[in-house]
Structure 1
Amino acid sequence: MPCVDLHSKADYASIYYTTNSPHSNVGGFDPEKPTIVILHPIFLDSTWLDLQLGDSRLNKHYNIIAFDMRCSGKSHCRPSGRHDSWVDCADLAFCFQKLHLPPSHILALEGSSIYCALRLALLFPEMCLSLTLVNVPAPVELKWIYKNLDELVHGACFAEDLYSFEQSAYDCLEFLFGPASDRDLIDELIAFWELSLPPRKRARLAETTSVYINRSPLSPDAYAMITQPVLIIQGEKNELCPLKYAEKLVSQLTGVKDGAILYTVRGGTSMLSVVPGHASIVNRAFANFLARLPHRRSDIVPPELPIKERMRMALKKLSEITGNPQIASLDPSCSISFSLLSPEVVKSQTELVRHYQKDADIAFSPMTLDGKPLRKYSERERVEWSHIETGSTAIVPPERGKESERVSKSSSRSDSQHNPGDSPLMKTAFSPTSSEIHILKEIKVANITPLQRLMT
């Protein structure tokens, strides 16, 4: 299995990758073709990049390599409360150097991958020929998203039977993708989550989610230091990543020659790269963008500087950006050294991971003994549920015509933002009142869809 092993005293990660070369290795790259690095969407992995790897507009003209981030897919790591997007950036930089990758075009698809790509362009500009960012989220998580995602992830992680897990997974799917009508895609997504993110692996899901929710923006000066060509592709009707935040990022990238380009996918929502029709539009816009850029060869040669020295230079630059000289003296062989989380957030994330690790080895598994899903989601009995929170009012659906307002009863649908320092991710996991959520399996609520139960 092609992996890049990253060892240090304080950290360990094994980063899986795949390529479009005949034997899935970098040695099979065509030196005459430019190289594309793809970073997968949040809660998925590189197996969900077939629509990019199999598109002749990309596959025919470019070498392509895709990585599973450290808590996703076939990658593995030592759990850490210090994990943030700067750590993901350092992982990717180590992979570039250890694999002798050439300077590459970065395609970052949704969520945390976008913040990883921006940081790579900032700290390791020689590795990045261009940036294409698909669905830029708000710089700090919006409170209504934080609260709903909190509830959904917690429900899936602590499900005690197949019915509960399937319902939580479906609710999460509708929240991330919008109302889903493709039965095959629904079945594939839920089967993927059953295999890759079951309750027994809930610590991985908790760490992945906390990295995304506890993200923080770059400073205006840091954004201005990014000079590579940038294309931003945004879904027109993406409520999780409103268009205005892509527009704001365009205005902040003042160092990009001729400015960053914003391309809007009409009718597009979230997870553009996974929905076939929208994915084709994304690929076309990306291919057209690359075609206008200078051609670059892909010679697989060792980096000019020793890896440790190059990472030390990156830590020095990070210390200058943050105004914290202590960062420059940290271990350059360790990705965790690049973390910029505050002590309070590190503590809360560490407690969170420990909480999710507890009894995970005996948690419910939605798989058969031979590692296959017990059934397709579409084969289950269609029974509507009612979720009632102990000691509080049940979440009820909105009036018709307001279905676009995805707001839980405990949060307002506004642009107010979650402050990572205020509370740990999924604080409900530690709350005695909100952890006791009863699921009444035999109650049918007329005209209430899973998504509507999250909306008021």
Structure 2
Amino acid sequence: MPCVDLYSSADYASIFYATNTPHANVGGFDSEKPTIVILHPVFLDSTWLDLQMGDTRLNAQFNLIAFDMRSTGQSTCRPSGRHDNWVDAADLAFCFQNLHLPPSHILALEGSSVCCALRFAILFPELCLSLTLVNVPAPTELKWIYKNIDELVHAACFAEDTEHFEQAAFECIEFIFGPDSDPDLVDELINYWELNHSPSKRVRVAETTSLYINRSPISPEALGSITQPVLIIQGEKNQLCPMKFAEKLVSQLTGVEEGPVLYDVKGGTSMISVVSGPASTVNNVFYKFLKRLPHRRSELVPPESSVRDRMRMALANLAEITGDPDMASLDPLCSLSFCCLGQDVIQGQSDLLKHYHKGQASALNPEGPLRTYSQRNQEGWSYSEIGTPSLYDSSIYSERSGKHDLERLQKNSGRSESVLTNTESAHNPLQKMAFVNSMVERAAKGSSGKGTGNPSLPSHRKS
């Protein structure tokens, strides 16, 4: 199995990767072709990149390599409360140097991948030819999204039988992908969750979820240091990643010559890189963007400086960005040294992982053959069977829902809501995630129309 092993005294991770070469390793790269590094969508892994890896425009003209982040897919790691997006960026840099990858175009698909790609471009600009960011999220998670994902992931991770796990997974997928997703896609997603996000693997799920919902913003000064060409592709009707945050990022990327290119996918919602119609649009826009940039060969040569020296330089840069000079003296060969979380957040995430670890060995582990979720009889299913209001029969409330309706639901459920906000959780932000029993809110339902075909990409500068 192709992977990069990262060892240090305080950490261990094995980062899996996949390529479009015949033998699935970087040794088969064509030196005449540029290289694209693809970062997968949140809660998924590199096996969900067929729409990108199999696109003839990309597959025929570029070397393609995709990595599973440390707590997802076939990658493995020692669970840690210090895992944040800067750590992911350091993991990616170690992979580049250990595999002798050339400077590459970065394609970041949704959520945590976007956050990682921005940080990678800041700390390792010489390795990044361009940035393409698909569905830029808010700098910090919106309260109503935080609470929804919190509740739904917890319900899936602590389900005691397959029925309740599948229903919780369905609700979470519906929230992330939208209520009008193709049934075949939903079936495939639920089967994937049964194999990869079951209660028997809930520590990994908790770490991935914490990484996503507990992200922190990048300073305007750090964003202004990015000089690579940038393309941002945003779903026009994306409720989870509203267009205003993509537009704000465009205004903050002041170091990009002539500014970033922002393209909105008409009718696109969330996870547009996974749904075939919008994904084709994303690929088309991305391909046209790359064709306007100078051609770069892909020579697999060792880096000029040692890995230790380059990572020490990156730590020193991060120390300046954060205003914490002590970071520069940390172990440069440990990805966790790049963590920028506050101590209270680290403690909260560590406590959360401990809570999720309890009973994991004996937790539910669905085994094949897996059934088709859409064909099961859902009549009468309700969370009320386990003493909780049904998410299937009632709505999940959005940010704009009336306070009166929420109070009515609280009264009917016979329990008071534990509302989790970024402000209230600042003391111990994610420890509460495991214990919250709130009624959750539903995103305002937007249209999930297919993306437009044959888009016209705005002209781009030559760099």
Retained in 2: the 8 A contact 1:106–1:131?
Answer: yes
In structure 1, the partner of 2:69 is 69
Conserved? CA contact 1:3–1:15, under 8 Å: yes
Q: Equivalents in 2 of 1:452, 1:33: separation in Å?
A: 45
State the distance in 2 between where 1:54 and 1:453 align.
32
Alpha-carbon offset, residue 180 of structure 1: 3.2
Report deviation, 1:261: 0.8
1:155 is matched with 155
One-letter amino acid matched to 1:380: R
Cα distance in 2 between the residues matched to 1:181 and 1:36? 29
Match of residue 250 from structure 2: 250
**1:41 equivalent in structure 2:** 41
Q: CA separation of 1:246/1:417 partners in 2, compared to 1, >3 Å: closer, same or farther? A: farther
The residue aligned with 2:455 is none
Q: What SS does the corresponding residue of 2:61 show, helix, strand or coil?
A: coil
Structure 1 residue aligned with 2:317: 317
Picking from 357, 373, 378, the partner of 2:374 is 378
Letter in 2 for 1:124: F
CA distance in 1, matches of 2:62, 2:306: 27
SS class of match (2:321) = helix
Structure 1 partner of 2:422: 418
Per-residue deviation, 1:451 = 8.9
CA contact (8 A) 2:175 2:442 kept: no
2:461 alignment partner in structure 1: none
Instruction: Map 1:37-436 onto structure 2 (within 5 A).
Output: 37-367=37-367, 372-387=368-383, 397=394, 409=406, 418-419=422-423, 421-425=426-430, 427-430=432-435, 434=437
Q: Residues 327, 159 of structure 1: CA spacing in aligned structure 2 closer, same or farther, 3 A cutoff?
A: same
Partners in 1 of 2:406 and 2:441 — Cα distance? 13
The question of whether the paired residues in 1 share the 8 Å contact of 2:398 and 2:443 is answered with no
SS in 1 for 2:176: helix
Structure 1: any 5+ residue segments left out of the alignment? Answer: 438-449
Structure 2 stretches lacking a partner, 5+ long: 410-419, 446-463
Distance in 1, matches of 2:330 and 2:164, equals 45
The alpha carbon displacement at 1:409 in A equals 3.6
Cα deviations by residue, 1:13-59 (Å, 9 ceiling, x for unpaired): 00000000111110100000000000000000000000000001111
Cα distance between partner residues in 1 of 2:314 and 2:369: 44
| In 2: Cα distance, 1:320 partner to 1:389 partner | 54
SS of match in other structure, 2:27: helix
Q: Percent identity?
A: 64
2:230/2:260 contact within 8 Å kept: yes
When residues 162 and 248 of structure 1 are mapped into structure 2, their CA distance, relative to the original with a 3 A threshold, is same
1:424–1:384 distance in 2 versus 1, CA, 3 Å: farther
Q: State the Cα distance separating 1:389 from its structure 2 match.
A: 11
Aligned partner letter, 1:56: T
Alpha carbons of structure 1 residues 213 and 403: separation in structure 2 relative to 1, 3 Å: closer
- Which residue is 2:417 aligned to? none
Question: CA 1:398–1:262 in 2, change beyond 3 Å: closer, same or farther?
Answer: same
Task: Give 1:394 deviation, angstroms.
Answer: 7.4
Distance 1:337 1:452 in 2: 37
Deviation at 1:366, TM superposition (A): 1.6
Q: What SS does the aligned partner of 2:106 have?
A: strand
Displacement of 1:397 after TM fit? 4.2
Do the aligned residues in 2 keep the contact of 1:406 with 1:454 (CA within 8 Å)? Answer: no
Q: Go from structure 1 to structure 2 and tell me whether the alpha carbon gap of 1:428 and 1:61 turns closer, same or farther (over 3 Å shift).
A: closer
How many Å apart are 1:365 and its aligned residue?
A: 1.3
TM-score (norm 2): 0.88
Report the AA paired with residue 151 of structure 1.
Answer: E
Residues 290-313 of structure 1, C-alpha deviations (whole Å, 9 max, x = no match): 000010000000000100110000
Aligned counterparts of 2:443 and 2:176: Cα–Cα separation in 1: 15
Structure-1-length-normalised TM-score = 0.89
Sort the Cα spacing of 1:398 and 1:338 in 2 relative to 1 into closer, same or farther, 3 A: closer
Give the whole-Å Cα distance in 2 for the aligned partners of 1:404 and 1:287.
Answer: 36
Cα deviation 1:223-279 (Å, max 9, x = unaligned): 100110000000001000000000000000000000011000000000011000000
How far apart, CA to CA, are the structure 2 residues paired with 1:123 and 1:426? 30
Distance 2:43 2:161 in 1: 21
Tell me, in whole angstroms, the C-alpha distance in 2 between the residues paired with 1:375 and 1:405: 37
Find the aligned partners of 2:201 and 2:223 in 1 and give their Cα distance. 35
> What one-letter code is carried by the residue in structure 1 that aligns with 2:57?
R
Which residue in 2 is equivalent to 1:3? Answer: 3
How much does 1:391 deviate? 9.7
Whether the 8 Å CA contact 1:150–1:425 is kept in 2: the answer is: no
Q: Distance in 1 between matches of 2:358 and 2:421?
A: 30
Question: What's the CA shift for 1:381?
Answer: 1.1
Mapped to 2, the partners of 1:163 and 1:127 lie a distance apart of: 46
Residue pair 1:207, 1:353 contacting (<8 A) in 2 also: yes
- CA-to-aligned-CA distance 1:33-90 (integer Å, 9 cap, x gap): 0000000000000000000000011111100000000000000000000000000000
CA contact (8 A) 2:177 2:271 kept: yes
